[in-house]
Structure 1
Amino acid sequence: MIANPSLSTASPAEHLAAAATHGAPTHDPLPVVIASARGAWVTDVEGRRYLDLLAGSPATAFGHRHPRPVAEARAQLNRLTVTSRAVHHEHFGALCAALAALCGMEMALPVTGGEEAVRAAVAAARAWGHRVKGVPAGRTRVVVAAGNVPVDGGVFAGTGAESGAHPPGFTVVPYGDLAAVAAALAADAGETVAVLLEPVGGAAGVRVPPPGYLPGVRELTRECGVLFLADERWSGLGRTGATFACEHEHVVPDLYVLGTALGGGVLPVAAVVSSAAVLGALRPGEHRPASGGGPLACAVALEVLAMLREGEPQRRARERGEQLHHELAGLAADGAVTGVRGRGLWAEVDLGPAVGGGREVAERLLRHGVLVRGGPGPALRLAPPLVISARDLGWALEQLRAELMVAR
């Protein structure tokens, strides 16, 4: 146990014991204790370095301590950090305008985290459904894809589909099944106000939908007069090689849910961006972020948006993504993995039965100096920071190949 939590001289075992004893068991992290980081590399408390292919899921999509958002944060720390939403500050309107311009929309609602952004999106869709579409209050329904996102009170939408029970106010359909979306809209045409799904699955594993799925959903929602809410928390802001994953299918949703990549690896910032008709349907108090959109958060997010407007993160995701998928295809050909899914600088690999489970392989890769996400089941998720170099990515994939070949 750590005798004095303020000291940084504790051993890794002491840090892990303190976390296990005093930390609520909401996560199951790898047994590594990080002390510092920069770019795509992290260093533990004993000085061991690891190449980070986790990308903070997705808070550190732009790497650790990226100089541009860090510089903005430092400058803002000397001016103003937090204000009440009872007053305006100089960066709030600018961030909302920049978000709207990036998305081709009209309004934005900055929030603190990704799950809050999903709840805000659902609240906006219900308010629009009641005030614009005329659905009675309390009867609005939202169609969600199984394995998607936690909504309303922490209920996971995917759980209902697997158990046969639906969360209140939601209709759950299989991800990638256009006919199921059509059936759900037909069954509850008078009360359904929106379809919420990930353009590329991330919450329950990396899943690329079949061709035509997103355009089909977009067409169905238009025909039925309901909203299409695109959850781009994982796939958006450059990860797939485009600003938004919807762009790969030439689809424009009615609302974007943006995740914590917006915080540039400095602090959690997320947002909902839509039209004035949708977000303008909300009323004071219906969804009021406790601390979203503060001066420090807005200053950092504005710099991230400037980086995205320049296009460098998207370009790097395309180039390094080609490298990633080329190398992973080689592993599949060798039989070390049985399948590869993903888009851009983002992939999930299914491991062969002789290799071991995803969590087991992720722990073994720690010995090689590589951090990856393992599981659930026999799978590994790879989400390198968009700033990773070709050399570093190549090295990490060599370590993966070496470990899988030995295990096989």
Structure 2
Amino acid sequence: MAPSNQKIAIKNVKVIPMDHDEILNNHTVLIVGDRIEKIAPSDDIELPTTVQTIDGSNKYIMPGLSDMHTHIAPSIFADNLDAGIKDLELYLATGVTTIRIMSGNEGHLQLKGLQTNGEVKGPSMYLGSPIIEGEHNVWDFALKITSQDEVPENIQQLNDTGYDFIKVYHTITKSVYKAIIDESNKMGLSVVGHVPFEVGIELALESGQRSVEHLRGYDFDGLSSEDLAKDGGRSAVRFKSMMNMSTKRRADLIEKTVQAGTWNCPTLVCYRLLHDFEQRLSLSNHEFFQYLHKTTQESIKYNDMDDIFSEESRQAMKIAEPSHSLLVNELHKAGAKIIAGTDTPVPYLIPSFSIIDEIETLFKAGLSAFDALNTSTADAHRFIGDYDEVGSITVDKRADLIILDKNPLEDVSNLWELNSVILKGELIKRSDLDSLRSRGAD
């Protein structure tokens, strides 16, 4: 965090505030400490004498990005705290100032502590509980809850440990799910995650699950929970089910989603990479790949997703991919709420730049450039619940910002044209971001 008396002025810059769809040309943004103090036309603003000035001519400033579904190290993919520190640095070097970690553990709590103490630099971490499963758990590291009587003590412990929200998964029973919702509500914790097979998307919407990940539940609507549980929902039948959904049923679920106020984090880029081997190869050859911690590199290149999903399932994903994009487009048009996430590092998703890929994918699915950017900026913080604090360029909000050399509203791919990052009021120039990115990955 910047010292409270530090003053930075970005002069003559084009401001993309993200609280509305507009560019404020030739403006100056004054930051004092970690707060935005003034935003005004450059000709009309009077600056303090002791201020660091940055020439923003022909540049664009906007809120920092958020990846709202990530699994940074330490995790089953890279069980190494140093790899987690490297993930945070890479996110920051790509302009990401907030992440939502979707299966937290003791290592992530350590990372948050290191951040609080100023020992590690990186995006703010919004940390989920370990995933909660039932009797026939998919993941060995999951927290198993098989009876509703076990719920109060477990949710209390997760709350006391410091997790920010509760994540549910496929195999918990309907009674356990309802108990988790009730106990979490009592403690002010939101429940997010996959839709359990026995629960289904309609009950999840009715119950107040705050976010649905990967369009889960929509993509197995109409299938029996018994059949889904046989292989953890990994069969080709599941992936084809959304493609076979009737127009009337899709419209009905969209209307119920809007009425419930449920957020969706589609992770469209994840679906593509589960079946697209050429795309995987291009990512592993990407210039950024070399900057990953070696442990993360190995886990991404040699993870077991191809063992989990059969060739038939991967082909079904490929065929069904357009139906996922269609659902996202129709959800958005109807007013349902969307946030951008990646599921990094599963599979071949690179911590940091995959979020730009997801924003590009949402744009290709039919969102406007502004709306696609919004899923990773203002709306991400509306979801978290700290939009009054951060997420738009507004006076008195925290200065988590990025400066770009090109206009992302003209082309969302211009997010790659990163010039500088401002994290909690601290200016990090391109040269320093490059140093952060290339810092020892061994």
Give TM-score scaled by structure 1 length: 0.29
Give TM-score scaled by structure 2 length: 0.27
